[in-house]
Structure 1
Amino acid sequence: MASSNAPEIVMTGPLMAYAADQLKERFVVHELWKAADRDALLREIADRVRGVAAGGGHNRVDAALFDALPKLEIVSSFGVGYDHVDAAEAGRRGLIVTNTPDVLTDEVADLAIGLLLATVRQLPQVDRYLREGKWLKGAYPLTTSLRKRSVGIVGLGRIGKAVAHRLEAFGLPVAYHGRSRQADVAYRYYPSLIDMAADVDTLISVAPGGASTHHIINAEVLKALGPNGILVNVGRGTVVDEAALIKALQDKTILSAGLDVFEDEPRVPADLIAMDHVVLLPHVGSASVHTREQMGQLLVDNLVSWFEGKGPKTPVPETPVRDR
C-alpha cells in the first residue's frame, strides 16, 4: 500500500486488478463508486485529490467532478476513446487528460477484420446451423463474399490505418472519410461520407464518439451504401443512428451489419437481437488479457509520470501540457 504522504487520486469506477493494484501501491486511492455517499466522500477529500483514474464506461468525468475536486491536475483514462471525459472543459481549466492509444491498435484492428469476415460469411449463423443438427438435413445456404468488395473506412486514425493495412492483404480497395485529407495516405479520400458510401459496398467505422460524429452514419448514408452494403462498427455506437440502421436492416436497404458497439451499452435493442442476419458482439474490440493489461499499464504510467514531474505520456489534443 502507498504511504500516507503519497499523492491522492480518485478511481471513478472499477479497473482490472493489474492496474488497480499498482495504483494502490503508488497512490492513496479513493474508490468513488464504492462510497455510500458519493458527495460526502468528495467533500471530505476535495482539498487533497490531485488525480483521477477513469475506467471509462458510464462513469462521467465532467465539470461537476472538476468542481468537486479543486486541486485536480490530471485525469488518466482507460481506453483510446475518452468521450466519457469532458476533455474540452478540462482543457479550459488547465487540466490534463490522457488516454491509452497505440497499445490496443492491433487488437481492435484484428477484431474489425474478424467481425467483417464473420458478417460476410455468416460465421456465427453457420456455427449455430451445425450445432442445431441442421447440416444432417442439408448444406448451409451460400453466403456473400469479400471478393469484389470495396471498403470505406470512417475515421482513418491509428486503428483505421491498421484496419486498412489488413484489408490490403485481402486485395480489397480502400477509401476513407474523415475531417480532412491526410497528406501521407495513398487511399482515396472522400470529404463527403454519403459520396463514399455510394461508391463502396462496405463501411467500417472506427470513428470516435462525441458531438462531431454523432449519428453521422444515418439513413441517407445507409441508403447510399445500398442493398449489397455491409456496415461494421468497432468505434463508438453513437456514430451510427441505431434506429435508422434497424430500419435499413429490416427493409433490406442494406444487406447486413457487424456491430461491436452500441448507442446505449450494454443495452442492445431487441430488434437487433431478433435479427439473424447480423453479427453482434459485446464491445470486445480490445478485450484480450494482453491488450487490457497494456492499457492498464499506460493508465498507471501516465499518473506516475505526471506526479514524478515528467509530464503526461499520452495527453489528448484538447488538453494543454503546461509547465509545472
Structure 2
Amino acid sequence: MTIALLSHVPLDAGYPERFAAAGFTLHFATTPGQRATLSCELAQQIQAVLTIGSIGLSDAEMATMPQLEIICAQGVGYEHIDVAAAKSRGIHVTHGPGTNNSSVADHTLALMLAITRRIPQFDQAVRGGEWNKARWNVPGMAGKKLGVVGLGNIGALIARRAAGGFDMAIGYHNRKPQADTAYTYFHSVTELAAWADYLVVATPGGKNTVRLVDAAVLRALGAEGFLINIARGSVVDTDALTASLQSHEIAGAALDVVDGEPQVPPVLLTLDNLVITPHVAGRSPESVENMLALVLDNLSAHFSARPVLTPVPE
C-alpha cells in the first residue's frame, strides 16, 4: 500500500514519478482555496505533508489529518509550521538547511547589481527605442559597505561573494556576535543601516523578526542606501518601505519576497526605484534537486522506522 502525501507546492517534471517510485501517492493543494476546501475524506488519509515555510501547516489543519506522521518543509524555512503543535501530536517536522544556499546568494548579488545599475530600467528603455537613456549616470557597487541582517549560512555566502568579488566592507547584525568572523558586528539593525550602503535581509522569518526593518531603519539607511530582501516579506514593514521609496528617502530596493505574497501591493509596481522578483532566489535546477532529494530521504527514513536526517531545531 502506498503512503498518501499532500503537497502544498507544484513539483517540477520528473519529481512526481520519483515520489511514486518511492512509494508515495501524491495529492496537491497548491493554492489557499484548495487547502481551505480539502475534503475530509482525503485529509483523513494523509500521512505526510510537503510544504514551504511561507505556507506551513497550522494546528487546526493537523487536527483534520489523524494519520499525519511527518511534515517536510522543502527549504530551510518553517516559520508557518506550528512546530509545537506537531510535537504535541507526535508528528515529525523536517526542513532543508543548506539545500539552496548558493542559489539564494547568487540571486542576492544579481538583485544588488540590478537595482544599483538600473538593469531592468535600461532594458525597458532600449526595448522602447530610448537608447540615449544609456547615458544615465548610475553608481557602481565595488568598494561599498554591505550590512547583512542575519549572518547565517546564506548571509555568510552573500558576504563572501560581496567581499571577494566586489571588495566590499562587511558588517552584520545577529542576536549576538559570531566568534569565528572578522566582519564588524553592530548591536542593532538601525546602527548597521546607518553604516551600510547596502542592507541585505537574510534573517529567518517568524514572529521574532516581524517588521524588523521598519521606518527608523530605512531612515538610517539613507538617501544613497539600498535595501535587499531575500528572507521573508514579513521582516520588512511594507508600508514604511513604500513611503521611503516614494519619497526617495532611500535610493532603492530589490525584493524577492513580499509580505502577503503572492499578492503584491499595487503601489509597489508603480515605483521605478524598485526591482522585484517572485520568490525565486532559492530556485535553480541544483537547489530543487537538493531540496527534493532531501525531502525524499527524510520521508524514506521516517517510513522505514529510521531517524529523519534534518529535523527542525527543538
TM-score, with normalisation over the residues of structure 1? 0.88
Equivalent residues in 2 for 1:188-203, closer than 5 Å: 188-203=184-199
- Whether 2:45 is the aligned partner of 1:27: answer no
Between the aligned partners of 1:85 and 1:128, the Cα distance in structure 2 is: 40
Question: What residue identity is the alignment partner of 2:230?
Answer: V
Shift of 1:20: 2.7
Between the aligned partners of 2:176 and 2:302, the Cα distance in structure 1 is: 32
Instruction: Map Cα deviations across residues 146-183 of structure 1 (whole Å, 9 max, x no partner).
Output: 14421110111111111011011111011111122222
Aligned 8 A contact 1:177 1:189 in 2 = yes
Larger mean CA deviation between 9-18 and 299-308 belongs to: 9-18
Larger mean CA deviation between 292-301 and 253-262 belongs to: 292-301
Equivalent residues in 2 for 1:284-295, closer than 5 Å: 284-295=280-291
1:152 to 147, 152, 156: 147
Larger mean CA deviation between 309-318 and 158-167 belongs to: 309-318
Question: What residue identity is the alignment partner of 1:52?
Answer: V
Equivalent residues in 2 for 1:276-287, closer than 5 Å: 276-287=272-283
Which residue of structure 2 aligns with residue 263 of structure 1?
259
Equivalent residues in 2 for 1:133-152, closer than 5 Å: 133-135=129-131, 137=132, 139-152=134-147
- Structure 1: give runs of 5+ residues left out of the alignment: 319-324
Shift of 1:258: 0.7
Which residue of structure 1 aligns with residue 306 of structure 2?
310
Between the aligned partners of 1:163 and 1:194, the Cα distance in structure 2 is: 20
- Whether 2:52 is the aligned partner of 1:50: answer no
Shift of 1:57: 5.0
Equivalent residues in 2 for 1:13-162, closer than 5 Å: 13-29=9-25, 31=27, 33=29, 38-42=38-42, 44-45=44-45, 49-55=46-52, 58=55, 60-135=56-131, 137=132, 139-162=134-157
- Structure 2: give runs of 5+ residues left out of the alignment: none
Larger mean CA deviation between 26-35 and 240-249 belongs to: 26-35
* Percent identity of paired positions between Structure 1 and Structure 2: 37
Question: What residue identity is the alignment partner of 1:273?
Answer: L
Q: Secondary structure at the match of 1:38?
A: coil
1:80–1:155 CA distance, 2 compared to 1 (3 A): same
Higher relative contact order (CA 8 A, sep 6+): 1
Task: Provide the aligned length of Structure 1 versus Structure 2.
Answer: 309
Between the aligned partners of 1:249 and 1:10, the Cα distance in structure 2 is: 40
Which residue of structure 2 aligns with residue 300 of structure 1?
296
Which residue of structure 2 aligns with residue 322 of structure 1?
none
Give the ranges of 4+ consecutive aligned residues of structure 1 lying more than 4 Å apart after TM superposition. Answer: 34-37
Instruction: Map Cα deviations across residues 243-283 of structure 1 (whole Å, 9 max, x no partner).
Output: 10000111111110011110011121222111112111111
1:253 to 203, 226, 249: 249
Between the aligned partners of 1:202 and 1:282, the Cα distance in structure 2 is: 21
Instruction: Map Cα deviations across residues 185-244 of structure 1 (whole Å, 9 max, x no partner).
Output: 221112211111111121001112110010000000000111111001111111000110
Between the aligned partners of 2:153 and 2:181, the Cα distance in structure 1 is: 12
Equivalent residues in 2 for 1:172-183, closer than 5 Å: 172-183=168-179
Which residue of structure 2 aligns with residue 275 of structure 1?
271
1:36–1:113 CA distance, 2 compared to 1 (3 A): closer
Which residue of structure 1 aligns with residue 200 of structure 2?
204
Aligned 8 A contact 2:122 2:133 in 1 = no
Between the aligned partners of 2:270 and 2:310, the Cα distance in structure 1 is: 41
1:152–1:92 CA distance, 2 compared to 1 (3 A): farther
Question: What residue identity is the alignment partner of 1:164?
Answer: A
Between the aligned partners of 2:161 and 2:181, the Cα distance in structure 1 is: 15
